[in-house]
C-alpha cells in the first residue's frame, strides 16, 4: 500500500528544473525523475512549466505542487503493485488530455516512482519485476555526432548513431562503440573540426555538409577496426520536424539547399544507398504522413523507419501508421505518453503490427535509470539514450551492464534481431 507520495524540484542535464517523485510504502521507497525533450512532437503529453522569468520560464513549481496535492491525495492508499490502476487514477485525477492540468512531467515521474517502489517491495530489480523471464539486452543506438536542436543547428541531422549489430554481448557492443567514439574524435581533431560536445554527449562537429558527417562516421567505424554495415550499422535521427518550413519544404541550412517532399525523399534515399544505414528516425515532419509513406514504401523492411515526433508513443497512432504504412518502428519515450501503462500500450501495439520498437531517453535527462529497466523488462528490440559520454547517459548504459552481469549466462544480446519486427 502506498503510504505517501511527495514531489521535489531537482535539476536535469541542461540545468533546467525537473520533477522528482518519491513513493513510500511500508516495504520500501521508489523514486523517479522526469526527463524533458528539446525537439518535441506536438502530440506529446504536456511538459508543465511555470513560465515567467526564472530559469527561462522552465521552473516546475506548479508541477511539483500538483504532485504534493492532487496526485498524492489520489495515489495514497492504492496498491503499489497495481500499475494499471495507478496510471488510470493519474489520468482521472488530471482530467485533461495529455495531462494538460497536472503535467506529463509530474505524471511520468509518479508512474515510474510507483513502478520502482513496487519492485523494491518485491525485493527485485525493476526489470525483473516487469518480467521475471526477461533475459534479452536490447540493441543500442549510440550517438557519435550530435546536431540539430541539440547543437544549435551546427549540423542539420540531429543524431548520427552507431548500432553494434554483430557484437556478442551488450558489453562488447559498448566496447566497440567507445572505440568508434574515440576514432571519431581523432578524425575531427586532425581536421580542426572538433567544436565541443553536443547535448546528448556526442561530438559537436563542424562539418561542411551532412554527407561529410556520414563519411566521417564510416571512417570512425573503420578506424576502430570494425566493418561498417556488417559489424556496425548507422542510425540517423533526422528530426525533420525541425527542418520543415511553413510551406512544407525541407531545408538543409549547412548546405543552403531547400527541397520539396519528393526532392527530400531523393536526398534521403541517396544517403541510404551510399551508407550502411539500418535505421532512420523522423525522416519527414510530424505532419507529413505522405513523406513518411513515400520512404517506408521505398525501403520496405530493409531499413527501420522510426516514428518519434510522428508517433509520440501513442498506441492509436502506431495502429494508424501500420494501416497507412507510414513507419515500421516506434520510438517509445514514456514521458511522451505520461504513464508507463500508456507507453507499454504503444509497445504492445508495435508488436501486434509487426513494428520494431526502441525504448528511448530524452535530450534532457538525469541520473534516473528507470528507462534501462523498462528496455529489458519490456523486451524492447532497441534502446537509445544518447552518446557514450556524460553521466546522465553512462548511468543508463552502466545499468544495462549491471543487468547483463546479473543475468549471467542466461543473458542474450539482441544484436541484429533487435531491428525490425519487435518480439519480446
- The residues that touch Zn ion, with contacts defined as CB under 5 A, are 237, 281, 308
38 binds, among Zn ion, ligand PGA, none (CB under 5 to 8 A by kind): ligand PGA
DSSP line for 141-187: EEEEEE-GGGTTTSSSSSEEEEE-TT-SSHHHHHHHHHHHHHHHHHH
For 317-325, the CB contacts below 8 A with 24+ separation are: 317/43, 318/346, 318/349, 318/350, 318/353, 318/355, 319/349, 319/352, 319/353, 321/292, 321/353, 321/355, 322/349, 322/353, 322/354, 322/355, 324/289, 324/293, 325/293, 325/296, 325/297
Q: How far is the CB of 281 from Zn ion (least distance, A)?
A: 5
Single out the catalytic residue among 44, 141, 199, 200: 200
Closest C-alpha among 333, 255, 321, 257 to residue 290: 321
What character string, x for contact with ligand PGA (CB under 6 A) and - otherwise, covers 28-47? Answer: ---------xxxx-------
Residues 328-367, interacting with ligand PGA (CB under 6 A): 360, 362-363
Residue nearest to ligand PGA (CB): 37
Q: How far is the CB of 315 from ligand PGA (least distance, A)?
A: 19
Is residue 333 a known part of a binding site? yes
C-alpha cell at 100: 494538460
According to DSSP, the β-strands at 250-252 and 203-205 are: unpaired
Is residue 344 a known part of a binding site? no
- Under 8 Å between Cβ of 157 and 210: yes
Closest C-alpha among 312, 293, 275 to residue 163: 275
Q: Dihedrals φ, ψ of 36, to 5°?
A: -150, 140
According to DSSP, the β-strands at 17-25 and 28-33 are: antiparallel
Q: Which is nearer to ligand PGA, 37 or 265 (CB)?
A: 37
362 binds, among ligand PGA, Zn ion, none (CB under 5 to 8 A by kind): ligand PGA
Under the criterion CB under 6 A, does residue 239 sit at the interface with ligand PGA? Answer: yes
Q: How far is the CB of 78 from ligand PGA (least distance, A)?
A: 30
Is residue 402 a known part of a binding site? no
Single out the catalytic residue among 333, 344, 396, 404: 333
Q: Is 78 exposed, middle or buried (0-12, 13-18, 19+ CB in 10 A)?
A: middle
As a whole number of angstroms, the distance between CA 148 and CA 242 comes to: 8
Residue nearest to Zn ion (CB): 308
Q: How far is the CB of 374 from ligand PGA (least distance, A)?
A: 16
Under the criterion CB under 6 A, does residue 385 sit at the interface with ligand PGA? Answer: no
296 binds, among Zn ion, ligand PGA, none (CB under 5 to 8 A by kind): none
Is residue 363 a known part of a binding site? yes
The yes-or-no answer on residue 352 being catalytic is no
Residues 179-238, interacting with ligand PGA (CB under 6 A): 237
The yes-or-no answer on residue 58 being catalytic is no
Q: Which is nearer to ligand PGA, 116 or 158 (CB)?
A: 158
Is residue 143 a known part of a binding site? no
341 binds, among ligand PGA, Zn ion, none (CB under 5 to 8 A by kind): none
Is residue 384 a known part of a binding site? yes
What is the number of other CB atoms lying within 10 angstroms of the CB of residue 273? 8
Q: Residues 259, 157, 372, 3: what is their CA dihedral angle, to the nearest 10 degrees? A: -70
Q: How far is the CB of 314 from Zn ion (least distance, A)?
A: 15
136 binds, among ligand PGA, Zn ion, none (CB under 5 to 8 A by kind): none
Is residue 336 a known part of a binding site? no
Q: Which is nearer to ligand PGA, 87 or 141 (CB)?
A: 141
Please select the residue that binds ligand PGA; options are 308, 314, 368, 404, rule is CB under 6 A.
308
C-alpha cell at 343: 507507453
As a whole number of angstroms, the distance between CA 272 and CA 289 comes to: 20
What is the number of other CB atoms lying within 10 angstroms of the CB of residue 71? 26
Under the criterion CB under 6 A, does residue 18 sit at the interface with ligand PGA? Answer: no
C-alpha cell at 398: 552502466
According to DSSP, the β-strands at 159-163 and 412-413 are: unpaired
- Which residue positions form the known binding site for (2R)-2-phosphoglycerate? 158, 333, 362-363, 384
- Which residue positions form the known binding site? 158, 237, 281, 308, 333, 362-363, 384
* Chain positions contacting ligand PGA, by CB under 6 A: 37-40, 158, 237, 239, 308, 360, 362-363
Catalytic residues: 200, 333
Amino acid at each position: 500500500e502506498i503510504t505517501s507520495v511527495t514531489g521535489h524540484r531537482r535539476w536535469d542535464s541542461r540545468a533546467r528544473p525537473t520533477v522528482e517523485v518519491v513513493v513510500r510504502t511500508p516495504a520500501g521507497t521508489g523514486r523517479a525523475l522526469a526527463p524533458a525533450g528539446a525537439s518535441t512532437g506536438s502530440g506529446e503529453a504536456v511538459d508543465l512549466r511555470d513560465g515567467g522569468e526564472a530559469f527561462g520560464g522552465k521552473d516546475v513549481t506548479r508541477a511539483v505542487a500538483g504532485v504534493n496535492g492532487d496526485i498524492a491525495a489520489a495515489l495514497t492508499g492504492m496498491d503499489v503493485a497495481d500499475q494499471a490502476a495507478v496510471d488510470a487514477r493519474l489520468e482521472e485525477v488530471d482530467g485533461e488530455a495529455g495531462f494538460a492540468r497536472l503535467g506529463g512531467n509530474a505524471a511520468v515521474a509518479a508512474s515510474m516512482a510507483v513502478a520502482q517502489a513496487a519492485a523494491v517491495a518485491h525485493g527485485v530489480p525493476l526489470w525483473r519485476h516487469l518480467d521475471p523471464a526477461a533475459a534479452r539486452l536490447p540493441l543500442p543506438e549510440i550517438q557519435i555526432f550530435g546536431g540539430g536542436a541539440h547543437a544549435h543547428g551546427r549540423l542539420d541531422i540531429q543524431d548520427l548513431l552507431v548500432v553494434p549489430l554483430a557484437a556478442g554481448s551488450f558489453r562488447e557492443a559498448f566496447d566497440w562503440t567507445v572505440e568508434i567514439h574515440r576514432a571519431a574524435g581523432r578524425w575531427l581533431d586532425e581536421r580542426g573540426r572538433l567544436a565541443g560536445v553536443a547535448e546528448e554527449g556526442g561530438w559537436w562537429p563542424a562539418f561542411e555538409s551532412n554527407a561529410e558527417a556520414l563519411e566521417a562516421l564510416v571512417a570512425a567505424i573503420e578506424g576502430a577496426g570494425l566493418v561498417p554495415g556488417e559489424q556496425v550499422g548507422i542510425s540517423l535521427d533526422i528530426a525533420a520536424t525541425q527542418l520543415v518550413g511553413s510551406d512544407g519544404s525541407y531545408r538543409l541550412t549547412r548546405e543552403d539547399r531547400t527541397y520539396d517532399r519528393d526532392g527530400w525523399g531523393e536526398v534521403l534515399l541517396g544517403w541510404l544507398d551510399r551508407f550502411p544505414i539500418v535505421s532512420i528516425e523522423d525522416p519527414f515532419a510530424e505532419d507529413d504522413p505522405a513523406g513518411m509513406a513515400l520512404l517506408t514504401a521505398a525501403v520496405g523492411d530493409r531499413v527501420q523507419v522510426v516514428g518519434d515526433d510522428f508517433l509520440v508513443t501513442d498506441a492509436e497512432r502506431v495502429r494508424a501508421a501500420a494501416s497507412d504504412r507510414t513507419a515500421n518502428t516506434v520510438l517509445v519515450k514514456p514521458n511522451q505518453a505520461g504513464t508507463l501503462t500508456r507507453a507499454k500500450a504503444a509497445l504492445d501495439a508495435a508488436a501486434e503490427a509487426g513494428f520494431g520498437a526502441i525504448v528511448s531517453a530524452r535530450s534532457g535527462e538525469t541520473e534516473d535509470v528507470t528507462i534501462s529497466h523498462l528496455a529489458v523488462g519490456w523486451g524492447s528490440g532497441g534502446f537509445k539514450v544518447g552518446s557514450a559520454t556524460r553521466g546522465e547517459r553512462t548511468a543508463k548504459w552502466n545499468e544495462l551492464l549491471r543487468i547483463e552481469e546479473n543475468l549471467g549466462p542466461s543473458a542474450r544480446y539482441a544484436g541484429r534481431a533487435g531491428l525490425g519486427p519487435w518480439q519480446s
